Chains A and B, each alone.
Chain A
Amino acid sequence: MPIESIIGGWVATGLTLFIFSFLYKDNPLFKVAENLYVGVSVGYTIVKTFDTVIVHLIWKPIVETGEWSLLIPVAIGTLMLTRYVPKAAWISRYAFAFIVGVGSGLAIPRTISSFILKQIEDTVRPILLLVPGEGVTFTWSLLDPTSSLNTIIILIGVSAVLFYFFFSVEHSGPGKVVARTGILFLMIAFGAAFGYTVMARMSLLIGRLTDLIEFSDPSYGMPTLWLLGLTILTLVVMSRRSSGKQTKEEE
């Protein structure tokens, strides 16, 4: 096995265990891993931003194909740095104004298209279906999301939840019934989504544990076992110390 893989195995195992130790309680090992993680991720972002933005989006297009128009966003970006000069800080507003303006403009038609029209289109379906040989029929199948019964249920659900989000209408009288139906639908959906997500999250844990099992292999020098011992030892020593401190404080 190459030496960098072995060192990598030790580092990865150590960091994994240090992060997991946070489940027990906050401790120096977790703090080390946490701060190292923040540091590495910021470093990683800086390098990646440098590589994509400065090298690939600015330098190369300007030098190689002469896209001088790219100096405009560079200028706007620089405006943002005026924040460091208190007197000129207001200039940075131009950059924000541009970003937010573009963002809002882009959002309007696209939101209408994919989140309003598309959702209406999917909800508005005929309640009765034309079944060949049987003529116009009402289909009862629950498992087919396009069946008549499900079309009605979806329509009720969408309407009731939409009504729940009316803010300028008091939820009283018949409105109360509709709003309550809406809440029930909301709760079922939240419960279902929660239950559905459990599997994906467990898969992640399984992935981490599989890695740890792999790194307990002698070819890596069994880092999992050694480092697990070290982590537990640290936690024990630490809790001894803090309980010692506490008794002192209490005295």
Chain B
Amino acid sequence: MKRETLNVKRGKGDKSCLAALLIAALLSLFDSPVSAETALLPLQDVRAFDTPSDGGGSLTILWSSAPYDSAIMKYQILLGEETALSDPAAMKVVAEFPADQHYVHDSKWPWWTRPTTRDQHQFTLRNGKGIALKDWTAYTIAVAAVLNDDRVIARPVQATPQPNWVNWNQMNNFLLMLLFGGIVFYAIGTARKREIFLRRIPGLDAVDEAIGRATELGKPILYLTGAHDMTDPSTIAAAVILGRVAKRAAGYETDLLVPHRDPITMAVCHEITKQAYLEAGKPDLFKDDANFFITSDQFSYTAAVDGIMLRKKPATNFFMGYYFAEALLLTETGASTGAIQIAGTDADHQLPFFVTTCDYTLIGEELFAASAYLSREPVQVGTLRGQDIGKAFILGVLGVGTILATLGVILDAQWPHFFLDIFKDTK
């Protein structure tokens, strides 16, 4: 049932296909079996060319749909390596499929790269499965229509596969990157000129309070930067926030413990912490072994950190960055020692555990917002503003897109796709 609705949704192309089916059925009513002479006309507009926007080793073949396209009829794709071929019938059959399949509208081409109308037939030959297409070698290709024992072969065409330098299908992705980059730079520029309002993030107000509490109790602060390495934005955000926390901790003369899972992150955080102590005017308090490595293995790291929590009893635990299943093992142990726990992560699958077991949790994007909020630097605040504009843009796309997609169904129209295709993940 579901599948039927899906098929019909596709619109015009399928309608014509339905019509073709009807005609085929009618034909077979009057004159069955369909005689080869009347049914199998030579195929129209056969074209073959190098598949655009790909890494080579592939050819695309197009031909017009025929009125008799139906499931009982089949198309064959024939491939020959020689360019001067006398007998197309001797070419190798590399694909065979029912004639009501492989239309242009089944392919993933967005409108800006679609080579022809949506109702034409389309087949892409690729390397593999018994086909070896060499780049820069010309091939002869023919399409045959087959009904029972009859076969009509269209005039062979030639094409040469080659690798391309640009994937035009992904230009929407590229444009979005430029657009968003522009927005971010614009917002940073605005932020440099005037103050931008930022709403309160409850978790962040707690940071100072938590560091203060550790100072009162004379216990250390434990700070974790997550499971990912330095190439992950959440780790970078965690490292930036570590800088702010370390600066406050230095000011309060509170000990900081930062156990690591990734050596490079450890090295970077070491530098950041050192700098923070310098900026706080307490370089002599900086301890070289505040940042230390345990192991890169998930659960032995967790066991060791749990051990630290139980033995050193830190008053405040920070969990920033990306986490996996170890999240709950860390936070529950931390809760049992009575520490204040502040988490911030973009790991959506672990958020439920942080939210339920920590005192404050920075949810998803709030982790990135945190460094802006703590520093109030124009660059950071501007970025945040840029992200907000980006989200507003996406909200608009969602609204307009849904209306257009619905209109497309009601009016049975294709024009909404000029908008919708831009926001599709075309590969």
A112 touches B173 (CB 8 A): yes
User: Which of B172, B199, B230 meets A170, CB within 8 Å?
Assistant: B199
Minimum CB–CB distance from B413 to chain A (whole Å) comes to 12
| A165 nearest in chain B by CB position | B365
Binds A, one of B150-158, B249-257, B276-284, B417-425: B417-425
Docked complex: B383-427 residues within 8 A CB-CB of A? 384-385, 387-388, 391-392, 394-395, 397-399, 401-402, 405-406, 408-410, 412, 420, 423-425, 427
User: In the complex, which of the residues B356, B369, B410 contacts A190, with contact meaning CB atoms closer than 8 Å?
Assistant: B356
Q: Closest B residue to A193 by CB, please name it.
A: B352
Segment touching A, from B97-105, B116-124, B129-137, B303-311: B303-311
Q: Are B230 and A41 in contact (CB under 8 A)?
A: no
**Tier of interface size on chain A:** 35 or more
B26 near A: Cβ within 8 Å? Answer: no
Query: Considering the chains assembled together, what is the distance between the CA atoms of A107 and B233 in angstroms?
Result: 9
Contacts of B236 in A (CB 8 A): 100
What is the bound-complex CA distance between A121 and B310, given in angstroms? 47
The answer for the CA separation of A131 and B2 in the assembled complex, in Å, is: 9
Instruction: Tell me which residues across on chain A come within 8 A of B401, comparing CB atoms.
Output: 120, 124
Q: Report B-chain residues with C-beta under 8 Å of the C-beta of A118.
A: 425
DSSP class of A's interface residues: helix, strand, loop or mixed?
A: helix
User: Which chain B residue lies CB-closest to A44?
Assistant: B297
Q: Which of A92, A102, A130 has the most CB of B within 10 A?
A: A130
Q: How far is the CA of A100 from the CA of B425 in the complex (A)?
A: 26
CB-based contact B300/A41 at 8 Å? yes
Chain B residues with CB under 8 A of A121:
423-425
With an 8 A cutoff between CB atoms, is A22 at the interface?
yes
Interface pair A37/B231, CB less than 8 Å apart:
no
Known contacts A109-B177, A117-B424, A197-B352, A167 near B395 by CB under 8 Å: no
Closest to B233 in A: A107
Interface size grouping (class) on chain B: 35 or more
| Bound form: Cα–Cα A121–B108 in Å | 13
Residues of chain A with a CB closer than 8 A to B299's CB = 37
- Asked if A74 lies at the interface with its beta carbon under 8 angstroms from chain B, I say no
Complex CA gap A106/B177 in Å reads 13
Name the contact of A194 in the complex, choosing from B4, B267, B352 (C-beta under 8 A): B352
Query: How distant is A5 from chain B, measured CB to nearest CB, in Å?
Result: 24
B402 to chain A: which residues have CB within 8 Å? Answer: 123-127, 151, 155
**Per a CB cutoff under 8 Å, which of A92, A106, A126, A190 touches B409?**
A126
Q: Which A residues touch B397, using CB under 8 A? A: 120, 124
Q: Are A166 and B352 in contact (CB under 8 A)?
A: no
Q: How far is the CB of B418 from chain A (nearest CB, A)?
A: 14
Bound-complex Cα distance A118 to B425 (A)? 5
- Say yes or no: A80 contacts B264, CB within 8 Å: yes
Complex interface: stretch among A50-58, A156-164, A237-245: A156-164
Chain B min CB distance to A244 (Å): 20
Contact status A124-B197, CB under 8 Å: no
Give the contacting residue for B408; candidates A45, A126, A151, A194; CB below 8 A.
Answer: A126
Hey, which chain A residues are within 8 Å of B355, CB to CB?
A: 190
A6 within 8 A of B: no
Question: Inside 8 A of B229's CB, which chain A residues have their CB?
Answer: 99, 103
Residue B268 interfacial (CB < 8 Å): yes
Contacts of A37 in B (CB 8 A): 299-300, 303
B196 close to A (CB within 8 Å) = yes
B423: nearest residue on chain A (CB-CB)? A120
Known A124-B423, A155-B402, A168-B199; contact A112-B384, beta-carbon cutoff 8 A? no
Q: Are B363 and A144 in contact (CB under 8 A)?
A: no
B307 A31 Cβ-Cβ under 8 A: yes
| Residues on the A chain within 8 Å of B233, using CB | 107
- Tell me if A34 is interfacial: C-beta within 8 Å of chain B: yes
A219 at the interface (CB under 8 A from B): no
- Chain A residue with the shortest CB-CB distance to B354: A190
**What residue in chain A is nearest B426 (Cβ atoms)?**
A117
What is the 8 Å Cβ interface bit string for chain B, positions 201-227, against chain A (1 contact, 0 not)? 100000000000000000000000000
Kindly identify which residue among A103, A109, A130 contacts B8, using a CB–CB cutoff of 8 Å: A130
Please, which residues of chain B bring their CB within 8 A of the CB of A99? Answer: 229-231, 264
Tell me if A246 counts as interface (CB < 8 A to partner B).
Answer: no
Residue of A nearest to B407 (CB): A126
Q: Is the CB of B410 within 8 A of A136?
A: yes
Q: Determine if A41 and B173 form an interchain contact, defined as CB atoms under 8 angstroms apart.
A: no
Q: Is B41 an interface residue (CB 8 A)?
A: no
Query: A233: CB under 8 A from chain B?
Result: no
Q: Answer whether residue B294 sits at the interface, using C-beta atoms and an 8 A cutoff.
A: yes
Q: Is B44 an interface residue (CB 8 A)?
A: no
Query: Nearest Cβ in chain B — how far from A129, in angstroms?
Result: 6
| Residues of A near any B CB (own CB < 8 A) | 19, 22, 26, 30-31, 33-34, 37-38, 40-42, 44-45, 80, 83, 92, 96, 99-100, 102-104, 106-109, 112-114, 116-118, 120-121, 123-132, 136, 144, 146, 151, 155, 158-159, 162-163, 165-171, 186, 189-191, 193-194, 197
Query: Mind listing 29 A-B residue pairs with CB under 8 Å?
Result: A22-B306, A31-B307, A37-B300, A42-B300, A96-B268, A99-B229, A99-B230, A100-B236, A103-B229, A106-B231, A112-B177, A116-B176, A123-B398, A126-B9, A126-B402, A129-B409, A130-B409, A136-B410, A146-B2, A162-B394, A166-B199, A167-B387, A168-B197, A168-B385, A186-B363, A189-B352, A193-B349, A193-B351, A194-B352
Given contacts A34-B303, A130-B412, A158-B398, 14 further A-B contacts (CB under 8 A): A26-B307, A40-B300, A96-B230, A112-B177, A121-B423, A124-B397, A128-B406, A151-B402, A162-B391, A165-B391, A168-B197, A193-B352, A194-B353, A194-B356
- Which are the 4 A-B pairs with shortest beta-carbon distances? A103-B231, A124-B401, A41-B297, A190-B352
